[in-house]
Structure 1
Amino acid sequence: MMSVSVYSLDGSKVEQVELPRVFLTPYRMDLIHKAFVHIQSKLFQPQGRDPLAGMRVSAESRGTGLGIARMARVKGEGMRRAGQAGGVAGVVKGRLTHPPRAEKVIVKRLNKKEKHLALCSAIAATMMREVVKARGHRIPDDIELPLVVTDDIEGVKKSKDLLKVLNALRLTDDLERARASIKKRSGKARMRGRKQYIAKSALIIVKNADSIARAASSIPGVEVVPVSRLSILHLAPGGHAGRLCIWSKGALESIRDMSNNAIELMKEVMAR
């Protein structure tokens, strides 16, 4: 199995660590996108119409022989609405033809094995330089992927200290790319809470995120996630794999249990 260097907070190599077998999982872009849509579907907002919308009217057809269409018409006389078509689809103040229903199931379903294999594939994609660069990240050609840092990074509490660490790891270009991408929004997007757009930069995966999460909150594009809550949404934002990830050594050791399951799933899929 391949081994990578472990960097200290000043950017120097301190040791070598063997990568878990999960990084041998084949890159399945289709499966990653499918799992992303599955997770995103849980955030979809149900839409529906009142079943009686356009139907709250006393109307019936006048029959044939009058030289008019046989659709239902509002009863009464001496008022503007009387005689107008109502209670049917395709007319003024009528109902919709095929309205969306609130009871429709809009959550996508995904097998557990597929979801697990997609997560393993997204993890493996973080070490593929061409996939990471194709996603837009700017990294030096001589940097080792995945980028592994000592567990001292979990103790960083201030944004300026974390920024020094990222610069020491030679990720300045990618941080500037995220900073330059900030776009202020107005109108309906801002009213709905999406007041600005920021491109994704480095994802810091740690074992304990209590301290460093606050430090990364003010650095544009940088996110922190504990390895226990790692998901496709973090590794493949927008359904596109290849997120630039910084692993703490402890987080890397925590996913070794996932490795054996990934290899068994890979063999099962390849046998089909």
Structure 2
Amino acid sequence: MKAQVKSIDGGVAKDIELPAIFSEDYRPDLIKKAVMALQSTRRQPHGTYPYAGICSSAVGWGSGRGSSHVPRIRNGSRAAKVPQAKGGREAHPPKVEKVLTKEINQKEKQKAFRSAVAASISAELLKSRGHVFEGAVPVVFEDKFETLAQTKDVISALTAIGVYNDIERAKDSRKVKAGRGKMRGRRFKQRKSLLIVTADKPLTAARNLSGVDVVTVDQLNVEHLAPGMQAGRLTVWTEAALTRLEGR
């Protein structure tokens, strides 16, 4: 399988042979499992105070009073401590001992990564995710693309090859979330656009563009390639990144 290497002005520099990883079978089941396992590692253990709701002197009245056998506060008849009582303990509270991480076999994880990489060159999957682009995929730049230091130069290069419209699509998608999350530092939601993969250093000049993620090929994982567990992300590679990808 071949691909065209584009120069930063949009011209075709040369043709290259793609690594064998791009011929992998599409396995959405393994991709979903790998992304869920990755996301589970970011969950934080939490639990309630062990004595919450039971710090009370309430005792039960026992039998013979015509009342249920629940602990009641002294000098009154209000129930306490039990889950159904006001101010009582929680029935099944969260516990810090609970294991929140999900495991995945190493071979399944590797297969999911290869499958997600291969899915990034499927025009059908890219369009099903809503990506907007012109021309063929994958999008491969010459290594000079990694040296761009200004955002305007990156925009010019992406416009020249017909993928900048996808960033505009993500920019227009920014909306305020529903629910309490918008009060907790998660006010906006926004679509993902390009994933830019380089060889040595992330392309920092592109990191503020709407929906764009910039990573090196060594940092690349399944969640970058399949946000929301849906594979087929529009990805921009450099020639050196593809060469290093063969060793993953």
TM class, shorter-length = over 0.9
Match of 2:89 in 1: 95
Note the 1:127-206 alignment, pairs <5 A. 127-140=121-134, 143-184=135-176, 188-206=180-198
* 1:65 to 2:59 alignment: no
Match of 2:239 in 1: 249
Secondary structure of 1:5 counterpart: strand
Where do 4+ consecutive residues of structure 1 move more than 3 Å?
184-191
Deviation string, structure 1 residues 1-59 (Cα, Å, up to 9, x no partner): x1111111111111111111111111111111111111111112323111111111122
Match of 1:207 in 2: 199
CA separation in 1, counterparts of 2:112 and 2:181?
31
User: Unmatched 5+ residue regions in structure 2?
Assistant: none
Deviates more, 1:159-168 or 1:174-183: 174-183
Verify the 8 A CA contact 1:209 1:224 in the aligned structure 2. Answer: no
CA separation in 2, counterparts of 1:133 and 1:17?
24
Shift of 1:198: 2.6
Shift of 1:200: 1.2
Percent identical among aligned pairs is 40
The count of aligned residue pairs is 248
Secondary structure of 1:165 counterpart: helix
* 1:124 to 2:114 alignment: no
Shift of 1:246: 0.7
Shift of 1:122: 0.5
Match of 1:265 in 2: none
Match of 1:86 in 2: 80
CA separation in 1, counterparts of 2:142 and 2:41?
35
CA separation in 2, counterparts of 1:147 and 1:119?
19
Deviation string, structure 1 residues 178-208 (Cα, Å, up to 9, x no partner): 1211235698434322233332111110002
- Structure-2 change in CA distance of 1:111 and 1:216 (3 Å): same
Aligned-pair Cα RMSD in Å: 1.7
CA separation in 2, counterparts of 1:175 and 1:64?
72
- Structure-2 change in CA distance of 1:43 and 1:159 (3 Å): same
Shift of 1:101: 1.2
